[in-house]
Each structure stands twice: as structure tokens, then as C-alpha cells.
Structure 1
């Protein structure tokens, strides 16, 4: 009887204690926590469950919630118990400066990206500096100049492949084609050999889908890695993995859709990179060398891969192991495909969705003038020439602005110093009217985040139509801001498609070469492109899986390649 009473008492006391503990935590977070003074909904301040619901269960929708929070509460909001989100372009250079004291937040990066030992997933600022500095020369503008012939050759290969669809009249899945192009370039650049997705019957779409399915679990990774392991063992219809509408490409193979196959697929794709790293490790005992500019060949046949470059660098031996090199390469493969292909998709959709006279005719006029200066009309317009074409540059800039590389928030932590907002006290002019903002102090260790989309759509910089594609905003002769004017300065400050500061995208020079080669030459080579059953919802972001992802039923950008008389 005594045992029964004791057990019965425990059943009553333990739940009560748990509820009391949760209540105490909630009261602390709302009243005594250092962030208790930050405005925001109480449900976000009390628990991370609010964020997990919108990100994990609703598949990356929390970005819509914090956007609404800013509308309701102002430029500084508390989006979870330990994090504030700031929407203020003037503060971006403070949080994302070259100040090496600011770290990344491991909750977002480590849990979402499995703590891979790459520069991207390095939390500590000093450690990141070591890894990043070792790669700077490899990604320098001069090094990329020598690599551009391979980018041009891969573009020609894509055009040849697309031209086959013109002959057959088939619908072209341009989303897959652009991703195949980007993967073939970045894999050759990083690993020393191409994945050759442009040679695949489906343009590598199976792998692209598998990658998307894996990425769709990133928010669940933050909830529980063990739970993700269970998801990967469930039947396809029971998992929360992001799927797409039925597609004939997959009717003959459930394996490509089965999450249990994803790990095996990734393992096979990285086999060649592993072999390269193992070969490099055979000479690991030799002294590292400092590669000079002459070590970057101008001909693509002698391209030095990232793995080879890092192994020959002056990094410490622990930073040049096979696992470390492969993770660095894998990080580049992940970063160099979707971010770039999304911009291609945006560019082509905007060009083709409007009447031809709106964008295409002004673009063709400018391209014909540039073409007249080439030695042969069949030559490609080089990237550096294309970058100087005003209208093309404005169109590319708008495409980059509307679809930044990262759609997620970018959280940072200063582990040593107190941060303040605003960074400087308001002036007398700012102390009146709407410009006045409440000042906040964030103690060391506070998670502070900002989003590239907030800058991209800043109404003060880009006007009330900031979410619209309007190249004229960059062209003074068309009524846009004049270089050197305050308006132009704010537009430039808010134009951060590859972020800015010490953690900005290291491969932005390569990305720019690819962008300008494709955007300057695609319609020259295929002037008869036209959209096929593609609406804005098929390309517009609906989910945030670190990068932007359209709605589940989207078939992406699809076109027909017509003959032009």
C-alpha cells in the first residue's frame, strides 16, 4: 500500500513540477531575460516551439512571420527567446562588417548543415579567417579570368543541348538546365572534373530533386537529428520531405524519391572527390607550397582544383585532411548551384513574361551593338564586356536583387562585447518624428540576425515597387538614380545579393562570370525562347530552406525553343 501511495504521489507531483518549471521559465523570459525589453509576440519570446512550428512543420514559413512582426513592432523584434531580428539597412554594415569578433550562431548553421568542417560552417570568426584566407587567391578575380574559357565552353554545351529541344519541339525544363550548367561549372572548378549533368537525359534532375528533398529536412535537423533519421526510414507518403507534383521523369523509379537512397547517392557522387583527396594525402608529408599567380593556367585543361589548391596551401596539417578537403569542396558544390540558377530563372522569367517591347527589345538593341565589336558574330560576349553594358547590367542587377542567394535570416553572435542599436546615438534631426527609434543594448552572446531580403526590398532605397523587376531604377537616363546621389548610395548599400563583409560569398567572382556570360548570350543563341505554362508562382519563393524554394506543385521554369524567321 505504501508503495502504491508513493507511486501515485509521484504521478501527481512530477507533472506539477514540470508545469511549474515551464511556467517559471516563461515568466523569466518575459520579465527578467536580457531580451525581455525587446518588442515582439509573447509566444515567440516564451518558447522556440513557435518558430519550429512555422519552420519545421510548415516547411520554412517563419520568414513570413518575422516580416509581419516588423510591420507590427518596428525594426527590432524578438523572434525567439534568445534571438532578435533587425530590419535596418544602416545596421547591416555593423553586424556584417570585417570585424572578426562576430561569430555565426551554431543553432542555425551547425544543426542545419551537420557541423561540416568547411569555412561556411565554421562558427568561430578567427577559425573562419584561417580557412577563408587560404582560399582567397583561388577565388580571386585574376584566377577566375583564367577559368572563364571553361565557363564559356560549358555554356556552349548547354546551348547545344537546348537546341535539340528546338528540333524535337519538346518542352524544356529550364530550371533543370540552369542547375545542370551551374553544377558542371562548379564541380569542375572545385573537384577538377565535371559532373556532366548536361549530358544526362534528365539534365541531372533526379539528383536535383534528391538534393531538394534532403534540404527540406534542414529545419527538422534543428528539432532533432534522431527524428530526421526516423523520417528517412518511413514510407515516402509519411515523411515531411518536400515533394513535387507527379512527373513522368520519376514514374519508372521510386528510388530517386526514396529518402533512404539519398545517403547512398551522395556517397557515390563524392567518390571521385575522395579519391583525389587520398591521392593528395600521399604527399602530405611534403612541405606545403604557396601557389603563385603563374600556377593558375589560362587554359582549362590544366585547371588546379580546390582540393589540390588547399592541399598545397600553407594551412596546418589538420586543415588538409581528406575529410576536411572533401567537406570544403562539398560546401562549394552546395553553394554554387541553386543560388546561381535561381538568378538565371528570375532573369529569363522576367524577360519572357513581359511584352517583348518591354525588356527584350531594349536588351537586343544593346547586345547587337556589343556583337558588332566582336571578331565574329558567333563569338560569345565575354563577361567583362557584358558587365559594362548598361541595360544588361541593370537587368542582371534586378534579377540578383529580387532573388538573393540566401532567403533565411543570417544570425550572428558577439561573444565578447555588448552591441547597441542603433550603433550611433540619433542626431538632433533624427530625434524628431518617425526617424526616432528606441535604443537597445544586447549583452555578449546575444543572437542577432538580419536578412538579405530586407535590404533587397527596402522601400526607401528602391521605392514602393521594390518587389518589382524594373531595370530603369539603375539607369539615370531612364529616370533612375544618378551615380553619386544619396539615392544611388542607399541603393548600393542595400544591394547585397552575396552578402557583405568577412562572411560574404567567397565565390562571387565566379558567379558573376557565369551570370554575365549566360545573360548576355542566352537570347543571342536562342532568340525564339518563350514561356510554357509557367506563372510567377512557379518561380517565386514560397518556402525558406536557407535558400528560396517555390511552392510544392511548381514545375519550375519551362520554355519552348522556337525557330525565329
Structure 2
């Protein structure tokens, strides 16, 4: 290292370095005393040529320092191993030792075997019981009666939560009418429509209008412009990776947008989306975005920025995070739920027949414009939507909470009582509940009738979470799903079931049940590798 320092030491002094001699002297007087302990030669270096960065490099590479670093690191690792296994507040909870010891266990099943930790956790519950330690700090619980305790109802009244569906009903109907027009345009052609892209375009236009007072007209675009949905799904994959390397994410976020794009969607999906929303919020804050001035209803982020909320809750970065969550969830939840519903309705003529008969009773002319309150009163349509939500999950990521007080868990079927210390990360998973064989027999089958036979099942509908963590846009999403399904199937039938007033038929194209089954978890549900999703054609 002294050889590397020599060219710098031998360089002649410059006027600028002499002007900074006081600054250099401050560093030199401190560091030269320290480093003379390691290398007495430092005492011979002129203060004018002293550079703290180079000295720090020499310190790090000095063999004695490296030795101390290695010894300290080794001792810390030994301490961490002993602490996590024997002295951690959650050391007594059941689970594999390797999961308690290191996040590498979770990393393997989430990244190396992408999205498969959800299934490994289920296997751990079969081995250890309803409560399992799944990483050094997190306890996972699989018990249907524990969800209410974890998500108790402490939601304060929120005008956005309750009023959205009323304010935006005209926008919802207009976007759905445009979607049906696009389906009519494909009638009688051989074109294959990616149903997920069509529904994502509709949902994204609506939620963008709700948030910003404008949208990108994705429904009218070629192939329904799947760019946002594609980025959202890429972001969900990259978020799974970034949760293991959060400091690196901070570094990546500081890169220019042009550099982010070069990293590819698999790595840069989440940062790229965050950049786009950051610019959108900043444009509203600065007054460059005035789209809301033409709206007949309040829009979310313009209202927030003009509200009396504390300024620290209205920072651009804070609202960027909110925009990511609201627009992403508002697009992807609707996209996947409608895709699940359409597949099963086209795959099961008996279910579709019952639905069309119910719709015909309230819409004899098959106009597809039935008021939302009327649609929500239809029992079979509601049952179809609940079953579609059950099999679409909302999010497949573990729902985690940390309480400032101890939490007690007692298995609903009896057994040991566990007390989780204050500050413990406690999680549950929606797919565990939605596929509980005691609550939903034959849980992988699409059976809307179960919700009519047992109305109490609604207690176990967790697609929008519960209590204080309930989805803010739940009413908007359900309004879209009710209105869209009713409009589409008021006007279209299927190959084996066509009504006298249907304007066309929808047919599945190269799509099987495997294309709508949950294969893995990357925040959003993952379909099997190679799946093309739900594909349809429109016949005359």
C-alpha cells in the first residue's frame, strides 16, 4: 500500500491544496497520530500532502487491521448464531434450525427456487403445527380463527374508502363500455385476446383517473397496452429480491432512469415504477399537472396535497409509495380476479347459464348498464365474485404485523398456548385460509354455490385483508368487477350457451385450468412457467 501512496506523496503541491491546508491539517493532526501506531512512516508525511481517504485505504489493507476485521467478524457471527438459536425472544418457537439461523433459508425458496417459499411454509406447518418460526425474526401462523385477532377492526372512518364507488361510477361504466366495443371489434376475427391485458387496461385507466384525474387510454391502445401491468408484475418479482438486499435498493433508486432501464425489468421493475410515480406526484406538487381541474369529482393526490395533513405525511417520496400501492393493487387485483372469473364461466356452462338467467331478470334488454346497487343485490353474481376473489387471493405475500405488546395464540382446536413477545413479526398468508379444507372443502374447485349455501363464509374472505389493513380501494375494485362481469355476460355467451340477445360468443383459446392456478408467490400470484394466461377469441 505504501507503494500505491508514493506517487501521490511525490506530487508537487498546488495552490488549491495550499489554500486547503487548514482543512488538511485538521485531518492530518488526527489521523497521523492514529496511523503512526500502525505505520510509523506516516509521521514523516508532510501535512500538505496528507489525504485521509488514502490513509483510510492503507489502514483497511494493512495486515494488522485486516486481521482485526476478520477476528471481529468471526466473533460477531458466532455471537449471532448463539443468540438466534438460544437467546432470541422467539428461540423457543418450533421450526427448522436453519430458518432460525439465517435468511439464506428463505432466500433459497424465494429466489433460487423462485416463489416457492409459500409451499415450503405449508410443509413446515404440516411438520411443526399451526405456529412456525420461518426466519430469524418472524413467526408464521396458520389458523383460520387467528386472522381476526391479527387484523382487528380499528379502521377510522375514511371518506375515500366509503365514497369512491359513488363518485367514479360514470368513469367505471364508460371504460367498460369502451372495453366491450373493443371486444366487438374483434368479433368474427381470428385474433386472440389476452384477457388479462384487456382487464388490466380497463382497471388501470379507472384507478389512474381516481388518483390523478387522467388516464392513458390503455383500453383503446393496440393490444390493450400491457406496459403498466407488465412492469407491475416485474416489480413484484424484483421486490422479492430487494427485500433481501434493501441497502442495495436504496443505491439503485439513486440511479438515473436511463441507467435503471438498462438493468432490465427483473431487477429494475420496482425502482422504475417508483421513478415514474415520483415524477407524477412532483408534477402535481409544482402545479405542472392540472388534469384534476377538468374533473367533476375530487381526485386522490390533488386532494391530499391540498389538505391540512402534516407536511411530513405529504412528502413526494411518501406519496410516491402510496401511488405505487394504490395504482398497482387497483390494476393487478382487478386484472387477475376478472381473469379467474371469465375462465371459470367459459369453462363451466352450467354456472354461466345460472348467471345469465339472473342478469336477464334485471336487464331484460341486455344493455349491460344495470345500476351497481342492483347488481350487488344479485346472490349468484355476488357468489361468483366471492369465489373469484377467493381463488385470486389479492396478494399471496405474507401479511405481517408487529405489535408493541405481547400477542397470545391458542390453537382453535385446542393445544398449547403461545405468547409472542412485543416487537415480534407475526404473519399469516391468504392462500392458507382460502384453501383451508375445513372451511372450503374441495378448495381448488370453482364452486360459487358455497357462498349461497353458507353466507357465514364471508368471514373468511380475506382478498382485501381486514380491519385497519383493509384495502382502501376495495369498494372501487368490487364496483369494477360487478359492473364488468354483468356487462360482458349480458351481451356475450359462450359456444355451448348463447342467448337470443347475445351479440357474440367468447371462447377460451389454448387455456387450461393450470393457467389460472397458483404456482408460486412473488407478492402477486405467479402462474406456472410458460403460461400464456387466459386467452379468448370473440365469435359471431
Secondary structure of 1:77's partner? Answer: strand
Per the TM alignment, residue 510 of structure 1 is displaced from its structure 2 partner at its CA by 0.6
Cα distance in 2 between the residues matched to 1:194 and 1:12: 59
* Equivalent in the alignment of 1:166: 187
* Equivalent in the alignment of 1:401: 390
Per the TM alignment, residue 267 of structure 1 is displaced from its structure 2 partner at its CA by 4.7
* Equivalent in the alignment of 1:70: 125
**Structure 1 residues not aligned, in runs of 5+:** 100-128, 243-258, 283-295
User: Could you give the per-residue CA deviations for residues 192-236 of structure 1, whole angstroms, max 9, x where no partner exists?
Assistant: 011211122121123322332233111221222465678999999
**Residues 419 and 444, structure 1, Cα contact 8 Å, conserved in 2:** yes
Q: Out of 279, 284, 296, which is 1:276 matched to?
A: 284
Per the TM alignment, residue 317 of structure 1 is displaced from its structure 2 partner at its CA by 3.3
Secondary structure of 1:344's partner? Answer: helix
For the structure 1 residues 50 and 323, does the alpha-carbon distance in structure 2 shift closer, same or farther, using more than 3 Å as the test? Answer: closer
Cα distance in 2 between the residues matched to 1:494 and 1:148: 28
Q: Out of 319, 329, 353, which is 1:335 matched to?
A: 329
Q: Out of 529, 540, 545, which is 2:522 matched to?
A: 545
Cα distance in 1 between the residues matched to 2:460 and 2:444: 13
Cα distance in 2 between the residues matched to 1:558 and 1:200: 18
User: Could you give the per-residue CA deviations for residues 25-50 of structure 1, whole angstroms, max 9, x where no partner exists?
Assistant: 32332222221221111111111110
**Residues 398 and 429, structure 2, Cα contact 8 Å, conserved in 1:** yes
Q: Out of 313, 338, 341, which is 1:319 matched to?
A: 313
Q: Out of 166, 174, 179, which is 2:200 matched to?
A: 179
Per the TM alignment, residue 301 of structure 1 is displaced from its structure 2 partner at its CA by 4.7
Per the TM alignment, residue 19 of structure 1 is displaced from its structure 2 partner at its CA by 4.9
Per the TM alignment, residue 311 of structure 1 is displaced from its structure 2 partner at its CA by 2.7
**Residues 277 and 325, structure 1, Cα contact 8 Å, conserved in 2:** no
**Residues 367 and 490, structure 2, Cα contact 8 Å, conserved in 1:** no
**Residues 183 and 333, structure 1, Cα contact 8 Å, conserved in 2:** yes
* Equivalent in the alignment of 1:520: 486
Cα distance in 1 between the residues matched to 2:98 and 2:149: 29
1:367 paired to 2:336: no
For the structure 1 residues 13 and 514, does the alpha-carbon distance in structure 2 shift closer, same or farther, using more than 3 Å as the test? Answer: same
Q: Out of 457, 460, 476, which is 1:494 matched to?
A: 460
More helix by share: 2
User: Could you give the per-residue CA deviations for residues 293-336 of structure 1, whole angstroms, max 9, x where no partner exists?
Assistant: xxx99xx9512211222133231233334554444334311121
* Equivalent in the alignment of 1:458: 436
Q: Out of 301, 304, 307, which is 1:310 matched to?
A: 304
Per the TM alignment, residue 12 of structure 1 is displaced from its structure 2 partner at its CA by 8.4
Per the TM alignment, residue 391 of structure 1 is displaced from its structure 2 partner at its CA by 1.3
User: Could you give the per-residue CA deviations for residues 243-265 of structure 1, whole angstroms, max 9, x where no partner exists?
Assistant: xxxxxxxxxxxxxxxx6798667
Pairs aligned (count)? 466
Secondary structure of 2:475's partner? Answer: helix
Secondary structure of 2:468's partner? Answer: coil
For the structure 1 residues 33 and 524, does the alpha-carbon distance in structure 2 shift closer, same or farther, using more than 3 Å as the test? Answer: same
**Residues 280 and 311, structure 1, Cα contact 8 Å, conserved in 2:** no
Per the TM alignment, residue 551 of structure 1 is displaced from its structure 2 partner at its CA by 2.6
**Structure 2 residues not aligned, in runs of 5+:** 1-37, 39-60, 494-504
* Equivalent in the alignment of 1:79: 134
For the structure 1 residues 550 and 146, does the alpha-carbon distance in structure 2 shift closer, same or farther, using more than 3 Å as the test? Answer: same
Secondary structure of 1:533's partner? Answer: coil
Secondary structure of 2:118's partner? Answer: helix
User: Could you give the per-residue CA deviations for residues 394-414 of structure 1, whole angstroms, max 9, x where no partner exists?
Assistant: 111100111111101011111
Per the TM alignment, residue 445 of structure 1 is displaced from its structure 2 partner at its CA by 0.9
Q: Out of 350, 371, 379, which is 1:390 matched to?
A: 379
1:91 paired to 2:155: no
Q: CA RMSD in A?
A: 3.4
Secondary structure of 2:241's partner? Answer: helix
For the structure 1 residues 312 and 14, does the alpha-carbon distance in structure 2 shift closer, same or farther, using more than 3 Å as the test? Answer: closer
For the structure 1 residues 32 and 318, does the alpha-carbon distance in structure 2 shift closer, same or farther, using more than 3 Å as the test? Answer: closer
1:351 paired to 2:351: no
Cα distance in 2 between the residues matched to 1:316 and 1:22: 43
**Residues 518 and 527, structure 2, Cα contact 8 Å, conserved in 1:** yes
* Equivalent in the alignment of 2:162: 140
Cα distance in 2 between the residues matched to 1:219 and 1:551: 17
Secondary structure of 1:441's partner? Answer: strand
Cα distance in 2 between the residues matched to 1:324 and 1:32: 36
Cα distance in 1 between the residues matched to 2:301 and 2:333: 22
Secondary structure of 2:184's partner? Answer: helix
**Residues 399 and 429, structure 2, Cα contact 8 Å, conserved in 1:** yes
Cα distance in 1 between the residues matched to 2:333 and 2:83: 41
TM-score normalized by the length of structure 1: 0.75
Cα distance in 2 between the residues matched to 1:230 and 1:507: 30
TM-score normalized by the length of structure 2: 0.78
Cα distance in 1 between the residues matched to 2:188 and 2:227: 24
Q: Out of 469, 479, 500, which is 1:503 matched to?
A: 469
Trace 1:255-294 onto structure 2 (pairs within 5 A).
267=275, 271=279, 273-279=281-287
1:199 paired to 2:220: yes
Cα distance in 2 between the residues matched to 1:77 and 1:163: 52
For the structure 1 residues 182 and 9, does the alpha-carbon distance in structure 2 shift closer, same or farther, using more than 3 Å as the test? Answer: same
For the structure 1 residues 79 and 369, does the alpha-carbon distance in structure 2 shift closer, same or farther, using more than 3 Å as the test? Answer: same
User: Could you give the per-residue CA deviations for residues 349-376 of structure 1, whole angstroms, max 9, x where no partner exists?
Assistant: 111123x2x211111111111213xxx5
Select the structure of larger CA radius of gyration.
2
**Relative contact order higher in (CA < 8 Å, ≥ 6 apart):** 1
For the structure 1 residues 195 and 50, does the alpha-carbon distance in structure 2 shift closer, same or farther, using more than 3 Å as the test? Answer: same
Cα distance in 1 between the residues matched to 2:184 and 2:289: 43
* Equivalent in the alignment of 2:110: 55
Per the TM alignment, residue 266 of structure 1 is displaced from its structure 2 partner at its CA by 6.5
Per the TM alignment, residue 98 of structure 1 is displaced from its structure 2 partner at its CA by 3.3
